[in-house]
Chain A
């Protein structure tokens, strides 16, 4: 055996034994195809921005329901306020994620500064509730190196708290900024459409708490579902469609100012 052969064989041997067993599994396309069972449920969310009054009761209910510490400045869902003035300026804020609602007319600019806007100067102003988009092609799942964040058969992206190593790739990968670290569990955290509720036939906490019907959840694969009917027959928008993540949170009255 000469040196060249020895190096070749060593490289082959190490490469061969270090390929994990799970990776060998995916090399069989037939097996992957067989696993692609079609689910009869695909959860989707509908937000009507015309109805939202920015009361923040949804955020409060979400934090209580999902045990996100109330004082911590992180939240699974939040409400943004957009105020466009007649001179073309855009102001947007979401103080503490709007967990206490918008109880001041002043715009919170951060760092303790506030902007007063006269009502004569307002061209348009509205509220936009936001939450995890449960994308059809979730980038956070793609980048998770350990399989801790994943997509369940019904489309909801879940986080396995026992499996998450806290690397934060998913937080960086999400173009919508909906993810954060749970202050108590120290694992990646985000909205999961109240998975424990929707699977018991209940509405999500935010949908139930909203007094104005601005939030709705439904099964997009059920043709008789009222939410599915609206999404499939009316004009609805999604956030940041240019990323190709195919969000499953749809908005009525979405505006170009909303990013």
Chain B
């Protein structure tokens, strides 16, 4: 057999070897088959801890807020709005804000829009959902031009809390 017949074969083998060598260096050591077997558990193990540690928590929860604003939390806790997390209206109290010294701390952006209140207080007569049990308004008839917080205090939502 002549040498020129084998030359393409050598080229193919050479290419395959190069790809496999690159693969050895490119693919991380922790990439492979893990707990759930080849079909579901073929991945880079380091990514699990990356998701656990490198993503920051932004929403801290009501207990965190009450650490400094105990008076506000106590007031609202006596009202039907006690079920609402502070950050649902005040925005997430993420680390960027918490880590600042008090004099340079950026303010949270409070959502005072009508739309924020209408999320729950638009009257929808849906018999098989919780919305049917919430006191609601028709936004086209009930003072359509002003924000709800002009009259209603969200921390004291009852009529006695009217401004």
A residues bordering B, Cβ < 8 Å?
A: 1, 6, 10, 13-14, 17-18, 20-22, 25-26, 31-32, 35-37, 39, 49-57, 60-61, 64-66, 83, 100-105, 119, 122, 124-127, 137-138, 141-142, 147-148, 150-153, 158, 160, 162-163, 192, 195-197, 199-200, 202, 205, 208-209, 211-212, 214, 253
Contacts and interface: CB of A to CB of B under 8 A. Distances in A.
Contact of A125 (B119, B122, B127, B134): B127
Contacts of A211: 83-85, 88, 120
Given A53-B131, A55-B120, A205-B59, A10 B40 contact: no
Contacts of A14: 12-13, 16
B33 A50 contact: no
Given A61-B88, A119-B125, A32 B37 contact: yes
Nearest to A98: B119
Given A20-B23, A65-B92, A153 B119 contact: no
Interface in B100-124: 115, 118-120, 122, 124
Contacts of B58: 64-65, 205
Given A35-B33, A196-B55, 13 more contacts: A17-B20, A20-B20, A26-B33, A50-B128, A61-B88, A100-B115, A101-B119, A102-B124, A127-B126, A141-B39, A141-B40, A211-B85, A211-B88
A25 B85 contact: no
A27 to B, nearest CB: 10
Contacts of B16: 14, 17-18
A202 B59 CA distance: 10
A172 B32 CA distance: 24
A52 B122 CA distance: 14
B56 to A, nearest CB: 7
A158 B20 CA distance: 27
B87 A209 contact: yes
Given A122-B125, A160-B44, A197-B57, A64 B51 contact: no
B34 interface: yes
B129 A49 contact: yes
Interface string B122-148: 101111111100100001000000000
28 contacts: A17-B16, A20-B23, A21-B24, A22-B33, A35-B35, A49-B129, A52-B129, A54-B129, A55-B120, A56-B119, A57-B88, A101-B118, A105-B122, A125-B128, A126-B126, A142-B39, A151-B40, A151-B41, A153-B48, A158-B43, A163-B47, A192-B51, A195-B52, A199-B52, A205-B58, A205-B59, A211-B88, A212-B130
